[in-house]
Structure 1
Amino acid sequence: MTNWHSRRFLGRSIMAVLPPFNFLTLHYAYFIAVPLICSAILWGSATPAHSVAYVDALFLCVSAMTGAGLNTVDLSKLNSFQQSILFVLLLLGHAIMISITVLFVRRNAFQSKFQHIVNERKRKSAYSIDKASQRARLDPINENGAEKHELSPTSGDLVSADARKTVAARAVPTDTNASSSEEDQIQWVDDDQVTLGHMKHHQQHHHHRVFPMVGVGARFDLNNHPRDAVPRLPQRQEEEEEDLPALKGILKGTQKYFASKGLISRNSQFHGLTPEERERLGGVEYRAVSFLLVIVTLYWVVFIICGIVGMGTWVAVNHPEKARENGLSPFWTGAFFAVSAFVNSGMSLLDANMVAFQRSAYPLLTMSFLILAGNTLYPCFLRFIIWSMKCLLPKSPSWAPWRVTLEFILDHPRRVYTNLFPRRHTWFLMATIIILNAIDWAGFEVLSIGNKDIESLPTEYRVLDGLFQASAVRAGGFYVVTIADLRQGLLVLYVLMMYVSAYPVLLTMRTTNVYEERSLGIYAHDPTDGEQESRASSNLLIQLVRHRLLGRRDGSSPEASRSYFVHQQLRSQLSHDLWWIALAVFLISVAESDHFSEQPVAFSTFNIIFEIVSAYGCVGVSVGYPGSNASFCGAWHPISKLILAAVTLRGRHRGLPVAIDRAVMLPTESLEWAEEEDAALRREQSRAWGAEKMPVGSV
């Protein structure tokens, strides 16, 4: 017994240290393993040998993979093979490419699930037929068709063959239900308390981890989806609306996609579905995932090819001398520019970056478009493409399945894809991007008044350069003017914009999560009566807020609950980002103390903050270093470069969905029943809040 307890304790200790196997864990492992492997290749292939330090090789690979775009050495001095490694890393680390992999894995998971369902039905059907045939052989009929009588094994009475056949027939469904109940551990009950009880029981056996890998803003003690989930019996629409009058007009039915009386509540949560209807819903989702896999892949490939051909040809035809001055192929230089813009990296093979093209309209406009299409406005472009396809689809019955698929994607995008949002959120995202870029554009034009380097440009190019810099400073990482020559106020504005660069897409992604309440930890656990009594009075306010959020009986708009979730995510993200940046600034400032003593202006604290924020935001804009074409971090000590590489790696992962996100999870029964649990919990919270608001003396 002691050995058993020791092994159990050892197993729990190991599980506490190891991170869970989920999307975030795989994402981190991928972004750590690939740069480590490629950095060894890049370092070993240097000409002459060891001309690039390994720390610089590692930093370049991490910077290219994460899309940060900072470079500690001049990229023009690397050989063609080393430049090709960085080119491949730019593509491998792009968010769209990773999303294609997720869609591919989820599509295969759906196929495996459906194949399992088909095989299970065939097995049960064969089992029933075999049982029936066996029992039929036990009841032979005499040659003359006369009824054969046998003694009952219990009483010795005569039992007719027909009667025995009836008993056998009744036994054959019995056997099917028995085998089904043994294999299907999910039971249907019409009681909310059973659902809550099972959640409590599961949470008591949940082990905490050192590295929970649940994402910023999520509770560390949050269990994804309990496997012993017990969903409610589906309630029909009339009963649901009577039970939740505050949600009338918000709940919608599922009849648009398949025959069902199930309900659809906020953030595309389907509930009130039978197991058979869940299978139909899975079929619709499978077609949506398969369609998106093709569309997103074509989007990624077409933009990259068009960008490479367009920019490569333009540089080779119009300004090949700018590339040859750095010993580069003109077409290769333009192709690298295009890919770096689309993945929002900012890496440039030219030492002068985009300053070399500050009076060329085509590359500025083309790369601005690629920057927006590859990151910030990608959800808007993708939704517009799908909406256009739906409008152009013929209305003949043969195209009906395609129309249902496209409508499902447009109505419930976050069930199938991370970077596709509902219509209202998409318009909000576009408006936010336009406003932020307009602020950057106006800041560039106004705060550059009196700057001789910028005022020397013709008016039309000064306006165009400001537009390009506004698009690039928040994510693209390119610079069309020397950053160190800009006014201090404009640099401060750029720091703020780089800091919030990921927020528009990030907050939209988090607030449209199907399992938003679970991702915030609201459904992480329900305290027992004893725990509730021991709660401090300050927590009563939190409980009251949660009751008001999850069940509104006062006729208020559901917009209040949505704003609460936005505030929760924003507050969590801001606090998490701030301490990472503050810690990095402190450590690097300490490591670069000797450089600050020698060159206090070049190694000022503001310049360090600017570089760190640019790395954390995966932007790539740098103030530079006097006498060098590399980024400012190229003049740092090796330990500072390693710290900045870690900051870059962490910053790349701040824009990901939390672990509890249907669009990055494989289809499982526990995932499906979680929606039924959430609906039951919302009903329970609604009843509790309604009881609290009931006036005294009411019946």
Structure 2
Amino acid sequence: MAVLPPFNFLTLHYAYFIATPLICSAIFWGSSTPSRSFGYVDSLFMCVSAMTGAGLNTVDLSSLNSFQQSILFALLFLGHAILISITVLFVRRSAFQAKFKRISIERAQKRFLHMAGQGSPLDSTQEDVSVGHHQPTRLDDVGQGVKESVTAEVTSAEPNGGLPSDDPIQWVEDDQITIGHVKARQHHHRHRVFPMVGVGARPDLNNHPRDAAPRLPEVEDELPAFKEFFKGTQKYFASKGFIARNSQFHGLIPEERDRLGGVEYKAITFLLVIVTLYWVLFVLCGIIGMGGWLTANHPDIARKNGLTPFWTGAFFAVSAFVNSGMSLLDANMAAFQTNAYPLLTMSLLILAGNTLYPCFLRFIIWVLRCCVPNNPSWASWRVTLDFILDHPRRVYTNLFPKRHTWYLLGTIIILNAIDWAGFEVLSIGIKEIENLPKGYRVLDGLFQASAVRSGGFYVVTISNLRQGLLVLYVLMMYVSAYPVLVAMRNTNVYEERSLGIYAHDNSDDEQEGKSASGFIQLVRHHIFRRQDASTPEASRSYFVHQQLRSQLSHDLWWIALAVLLIAIAESSNFNRQPVAYSTFNIIFEVVSAYGCVGISVGLPNSNASFCGGWHPISKLILAAVTLRGRHRGLPVAIDRAVMLPNESLEWAEEEDAAMRREQSRAWGSNKMPIGSV
């Protein structure tokens, strides 16, 4: 068990992306015509490339039979991040339903036993309807029934302040596993060979609550200036709890946690419908739009490669939406250099399917919120939409708060503008581009800017571009995942916990005290109007910087090692064709694969990617690179949006609040008198 990876979201994600291409590659290879016309390694690489969205191809797609093209078409769908997120939403909704059903049954049994003990029949009308057997009741009613005399503290069920002894769920090294009554501390020092906790997260983190305080202290009495940083929960349900930064709910008793779960359940259910409609409508409109346009306007382009026009257009649309870059046409998008409709349509699909997906989704939900009538009959919908907009990272991985969404939009605009400007300036003197009409030259530059960071398509021959522009493309492909990654990590509900700030080992207590949370640093800055420039924790962005440093170093090691091994394996090809197999071309191909982009410098007299001329061992190394690159933009193992509801997860927020409170007390007493400026 110490060697096997833990059972969590990242492990399942890796297993899915490894098992599916392995199965499909055997079918892909066995169905080739003529039989065994290319090796199994090529079949495996093609399936991995389609599944991960890398888009690199070691064989010409136009030479494949229809069945093999259909396999790649299906893999493009199966590996798309939006489809996987829909699955996560479905699983989490089912988990909420099971939890509510269990709670309702337990409460009904307790009432039955209580009524039976008093000798009176059970009145079914007295059943608590805060959570139903399968779903919560109307959100207007989730706050009803809360007693006015809610106490400020809840007595712990265990002497150590943890969960009840009959709770089979414990948290060990970021993973929820069933271990009966085994204490979490016994497993705290177990180290795994494959931690699978996400880059930047502590692999030895124990997530089991030790001494969480259910209620936050009276804020007005302890730190008066803290009041502006907390919000009440009355907007969603009645309670005396608070909402702190990063959408963390504190000071809730178990009954109020159930009501919060009801609100989250309805938000997840609503998102499941919206995201599914988003995915289906964009795919259908793209297929119909590109397939119909190609059939009506330029069917000859597809027929030159022996392809059906509508099928070719449909493959283009799906490949663009999933940001793969695979094309059945040997010329890729260069065949449409002077056609505005496919360039604009493909650009929209590329942005909607990946880089701007969080922005589009939040805009849709915001529009729906604006359209909801302001009357009591629509109150539950207003609560649901408000909760999604106010606390998006509690319910979905790729939906961010307003500030972070604007940041993401601005970052993408700036990066695409740099790509477009580089294309226009550094292409001066290249005949293939200068021969284009000025309007289409601008449009081609905008399309290439949209495709170079993740789309994978090319509207001009990449190998003909200037060296400086290729270097720019390498940098852009390398940072392709970072805008979304930064927003995802910065809005994680369990930000401190994912970084291991709060480790629950006695030997680490002193070290924990030295690491002040970003919340406390924010309070220092805004309340006391001072910052300690000598410590890195003085900025709220300290956590994101830690994540990025870990991510950057991890990425560089993967890329450097892959380039080294491939360069060694391709020494014979380099001696034969030093220009075509140059080290820079290998770096370009590896970065394109790691970024799951798909742009390639290609090979002379070949329509395949540059890796199509490599040795089998090099192709296998590159396939491993694409798998690792596909997982670099995922959330860490401790992320509310990918974890199932359970008591340990809920009480982790209360423990974080207690620890932050302790740190604030220590800082307030040792660093500066409370209230001084």
Give the TM-score of the pair, scaled to structure 1.
0.85
Distance 2:267 2:517 in 1: 36
1:608 aligned counterpart, secondary structure: helix
Give the residue type in structure 2 aligned to 1:232. Answer: A
1:211 corresponding residue in structure 2: 194
Does the Cα contact within 8 Å between 1:19 and 1:211 map onto a contact in 2?
yes
Distance 1:621 1:659 in 2: 31
2:500 corresponding residue in structure 1: 521
- Equivalent runs, 1:513-662 vs 2, <5 Å: 513-525=492-504, 527-528=506-507, 532=510, 543=515, 549=521, 552=524, 554-556=528-530, 561-662=539-640
2:323 aligned counterpart, secondary structure: coil
1:248 Cα deviation from its structure 2 partner: 3.3
Select 2:244's aligned residue among 254, 257, 265: 265
Q: How far does the alpha carbon of each residue in 1:513-550 deviate from its partner, in whole angstroms, 9 at most, with x for none?
A: 00000111111245438x84xx8xxx99x647889648
1:251 Cα deviation from its structure 2 partner: 1.1
| Mean CA deviation greater in 517-526 or 408-417 | 517-526
1:561 Cα deviation from its structure 2 partner: 4.0
Does the Cα contact within 8 Å between 2:62 and 2:329 map onto a contact in 1?
yes
Select 1:221's aligned residue among 197, 201, 204: 204
Select 2:431's aligned residue among 444, 452, 457: 452
Whether 1:106 aligns to 2:92 is yes
Change (3 A) 1:313 1:557: farther
1:139 corresponding residue in structure 2: none
Whether 1:346 aligns to 2:329 is no
1:568 Cα deviation from its structure 2 partner: 1.2
Select 2:52's aligned residue among 49, 62, 66: 66
Does the Cα contact within 8 Å between 1:547 and 1:685 map onto a contact in 2?
no
Does the Cα contact within 8 Å between 1:550 and 1:682 map onto a contact in 2?
no
Does the Cα contact within 8 Å between 2:212 and 2:656 map onto a contact in 1?
no
Does the Cα contact within 8 Å between 2:216 and 2:658 map onto a contact in 1?
no
Q: How far does the alpha carbon of each residue in 1:194-216 deviate from its partner, in whole angstroms, 9 at most, with x for none?
A: xxxxxxx8456412211111001
- Equivalent runs, 1:265-344 vs 2, <5 Å: 265-344=244-323
Select 1:679's aligned residue among 634, 649, 657: 657
Does the Cα contact within 8 Å between 1:550 and 1:686 map onto a contact in 2?
no
2:328 aligned counterpart, secondary structure: coil
2:177 corresponding residue in structure 1: none
1:186 corresponding residue in structure 2: 163
1:250 Cα deviation from its structure 2 partner: 1.9
1:34 corresponding residue in structure 2: 20
Whether 1:668 aligns to 2:646 is yes
Give the residue type in structure 1 aligned to 2:435. Answer: S
Change (3 A) 1:514 1:283: same
Change (3 A) 1:332 1:134: closer
Does the Cα contact within 8 Å between 2:32 and 2:64 map onto a contact in 1?
yes
Distance 1:527 1:659 in 2: 23
1:688 corresponding residue in structure 2: 666
Distance 2:662 2:367 in 1: 41
Query: Which structure 2 residue ranges, 5 or more long, are not aligned?
Result: 122-153, 166-182
1:371 corresponding residue in structure 2: 350
2:3 corresponding residue in structure 1: 17
Change (3 A) 1:313 1:605: same
2:406 aligned counterpart, secondary structure: helix
Does the Cα contact within 8 Å between 1:354 and 1:479 map onto a contact in 2?
yes
Distance 1:543 1:484 in 2: 50
Distance 2:530 2:24 in 1: 55
Change (3 A) 1:363 1:406: same
Whether 1:477 aligns to 2:456 is yes
1:221 Cα deviation from its structure 2 partner: 1.1
2:149 corresponding residue in structure 1: none
Q: How far does the alpha carbon of each residue in 1:280-329 deviate from its partner, in whole angstroms, 9 at most, with x for none?
A: 10000000000000000000000000000000000111110010000000
1:690 Cα deviation from its structure 2 partner: 1.6
Change (3 A) 1:557 1:372: farther
2:243 aligned counterpart, secondary structure: strand
Q: How far does the alpha carbon of each residue in 1:184-240 deviate from its partner, in whole angstroms, 9 at most, with x for none?
A: 97379xxxxxxxxxxxx84564122111110011012112x31x544314136xx12
Distance 2:221 2:622 in 1: 56
Whether 1:488 aligns to 2:474 is no
2:70 aligned counterpart, secondary structure: helix
1:133 corresponding residue in structure 2: 119
Distance 1:432 1:547 in 2: 25
Q: How far does the alpha carbon of each residue in 1:609-658 deviate from its partner, in whole angstroms, 9 at most, with x for none?
A: 00000000000000000010000000000000000000000000001000
1:186 aligned counterpart, secondary structure: coil
Give the residue type in structure 2 aligned to 1:667. Answer: P
Distance 1:89 1:659 in 2: 25
CA RMSD of aligned residues (A): 2.5
Distance 1:557 1:391 in 2: 40
Q: How far does the alpha carbon of each residue in 1:14-69 deviate from its partner, in whole angstroms, 9 at most, with x for none?
A: x2111111100000000000000000000000011001211000000000000000
Select 1:235's aligned residue among 203, 212, 216: 216
Give the residue type in structure 1 aligned to 2:215. Answer: P
Distance 2:462 2:539 in 1: 42
| Mean CA deviation greater in 565-574 or 511-520 | 565-574
Give the residue type in structure 2 aligned to 1:674. Answer: A
1:427 corresponding residue in structure 2: 406
1:691 Cα deviation from its structure 2 partner: 2.2
Q: Specify the structure having the higher radius of gyration (Cα).
A: 1
Select 1:408's aligned residue among 387, 390, 399: 387
Distance 1:513 1:639 in 2: 39
Give the residue type in structure 2 aligned to 1:418. Answer: T
Does the Cα contact within 8 Å between 1:229 and 1:674 map onto a contact in 2?
no
Distance 2:223 2:638 in 1: 26
Does the Cα contact within 8 Å between 2:162 and 2:212 map onto a contact in 1?
no
Distance 2:530 2:636 in 1: 29
Distance 2:630 2:521 in 1: 32
Q: How far does the alpha carbon of each residue in 1:108-133 deviate from its partner, in whole angstroms, 9 at most, with x for none?
A: 00000000000001111111122223
Change (3 A) 1:186 1:388: same
1:426 Cα deviation from its structure 2 partner: 0.3
1:695 Cα deviation from its structure 2 partner: 6.9
Distance 1:462 1:430 in 2: 25
2:41 corresponding residue in structure 1: 55
Whether 1:360 aligns to 2:339 is yes
Distance 1:244 1:75 in 2: 65
Does the Cα contact within 8 Å between 2:290 and 2:313 map onto a contact in 1?
yes
1:247 Cα deviation from its structure 2 partner: 3.4
Change (3 A) 1:557 1:430: farther
Give the residue type in structure 1 aligned to 2:219. Answer: E
Distance 1:233 1:523 in 2: 17
1:433 aligned counterpart, secondary structure: helix
| Mean CA deviation greater in 560-569 or 239-248 | 239-248
Does the Cα contact within 8 Å between 1:551 and 1:683 map onto a contact in 2?
no
Change (3 A) 1:400 1:547: closer
Whether 1:124 aligns to 2:101 is no
- Larger relative helix fraction: 1
Give the residue type in structure 2 aligned to 1:690. Answer: G
Distance 2:223 2:51 in 1: 48
Q: How many equivalent residue pairs? A: 617
Does the Cα contact within 8 Å between 2:518 and 2:539 map onto a contact in 1?
no
